[in-house]
């Protein structure tokens, strides 16, 4: 069985702020890391690999520096990795991202594609299902447990607010893995050494079968981010310190804001 896992490099901290004067995004530090939700996707793949001897290949689309998260995946348990990177992909929204990835995934070949539930930056949770649609395979989102039922079918458990479902899904297919579905492993020093010689190939648009540049990046993106601004709330905070009677102050605030009636 061939499993492809999709991961994304995201800002290390989501503590971004927008300068209200200039509109510039202020991030604390320019560091990046692997999207934390993708760790559960990778672990799901490694668990299946341990049980059924699957081959796990990991891909990402991003700037050249995104090769770092692929290296990390190799250190955790992936058998191979490919980076999709081309300035012509710049400005891609979900549709253009999923389209480019689907072209790549089809060419690599797969029985199962595993994605994270969502990212911590774009935060849409849409890329996985859109890839499935482009590849004309079924998908199930927010998967908790997965096991191979037979060589053509996966048995899956999903949990949402109201239902816990057990589903059978035919291979080839795509799943997105819920957070806390498992306990992701850490990169291992042993694997760091044993995977040192694995070369991470970089593909560009020229490696995809659809070479029409207008289908990718900004030009292939129906949505446009017009502007970015800070959320309205915040900054209304008051710190009441050196109080004679803090319990009374809390009571007064609860009454004043009508959470409690004072009488």
Alpha carbon distance 77, 42 (integer Å):
8
CA-wise closest residue to 157 among 179, 140, 170, 180: 140
Q: Is residue 175 within the footprint of ligand FAD (CB under 6 A)?
A: no
Q: Which is nearer to ligand FAD, 24 or 194 (CB)?
A: 24
Give the footprint of ligand FAD on residues 63-122 (CB under 6 A): 92-94, 97, 101, 115-116, 118-119, 121-122
Smallest gap, in angstroms, from Cβ of residue 124 to another protein? 4
Beta bridge partners of 10: 33
35: contact with ligand FAD by CB under 6 A: yes
What part of residues 205-224 is at the interface with ligand FAD (CB under 6 A)? Answer: 223
Closest CA to 89 of 200, 221, 189: 221
Q: Are 139 and 173 in contact (CB under 8 A)?
A: yes
Q: Does 8 bind ligand FAD (CB under 6 A)?
A: yes
Alpha-carbon distance of 63 to 89, in angstroms, equals 9
Residue 125 binds another protein (CB under 8 A): yes
- Which listed residue (50, 51, 109, 123) binds another protein by CB under 8 A? 123
As to burial, measured by CB atoms within 10 angstroms (0-12 exposed, 13-18 middle, 19+ buried), residue 22 is exposed
133 is a contact residue toward another protein (CB under 8 A): yes
Contacts of 159 (CB under 8 A, 6+ apart): 142, 144, 165, 178
x/- track of binding to another protein for residues 169-208 (CB under 8 A): xx--x-----xx----------------------------
According to the binding rule CB under 8 A, does residue 121 interact with another protein? yes
Q: Which of residues 78-107 bind another protein (CB under 8 A)?
A: 85-95, 98-99
Q: Does residue 27 interact with another protein by CB under 8 A?
A: yes
CA 36 to chain centroid, in Å, comes to: 7
Q: How far apart are CA 64 and CA 14, in angstroms?
A: 21
With H, G, I as helix, E, B as strand and everything else as coil, classify residue 50: helix
Does position 262 bind another protein by CB under 8 A?
Answer: yes
Task: Write out the residues near ligand FAD by the rule CB under 6 A.
Answer: 6-8, 35, 37-38, 41, 59-62, 92-94, 97, 101, 115-116, 118-119, 121-128, 223, 225, 228
């Amino acid at each position: 069985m061939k499993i492809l896992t999709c991961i994304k490099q995201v800002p290390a901290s989501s503590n971004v702020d927008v300068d209200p004067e200039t509109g510039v995004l202020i991030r604390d530090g320019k560091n990046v890391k692997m999207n934390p939700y993708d760790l559960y996707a990778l672990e799901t793949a490694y668990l299946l690999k341990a049980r059924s001897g699957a081959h796990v290949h990991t891909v990402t689309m991003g700037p050249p520096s995104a090769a770092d998260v692929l290296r990390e995946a190799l250190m955790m348990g992936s058998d191979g990795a490919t980076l999709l990177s081309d300035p012509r992909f710049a400005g891609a929204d979900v549709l253009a991202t999923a389209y480019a990835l689907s072209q790549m995934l089809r060419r690599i070949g797969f029985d199962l594609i595993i994605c994270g539930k969502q990212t911590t930056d774009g935060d849409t949770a849409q890329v996985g299902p859109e890839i499935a649609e482009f590849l004309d395979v079924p998908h199930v989102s927010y998967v908790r447990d997965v096991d191979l039922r037979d060589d053509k079918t996966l048995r899956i458990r999903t949990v949402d607010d109201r239902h816990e479902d057990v589903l059978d899904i035919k291979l080839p297919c795509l799943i997105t893995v819920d957070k806390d579905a498992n306990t992701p492993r850490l990169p291992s020093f042993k694997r760091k050494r044993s995977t040192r010689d694995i070369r991470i190939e970089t593909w560009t648009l020229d490696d995809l079968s659809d070479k029409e540049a207008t289908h990718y990046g900004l030009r292939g993106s129906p949505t446009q981010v017009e502007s970015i601004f800070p959320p309205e709330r915040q900054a209304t905070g008051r710190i009441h310190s050196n109080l004679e009677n803090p319990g009374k102050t809390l009571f007064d605030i609860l009454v004043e804001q009508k959470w409690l009636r004072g009488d």
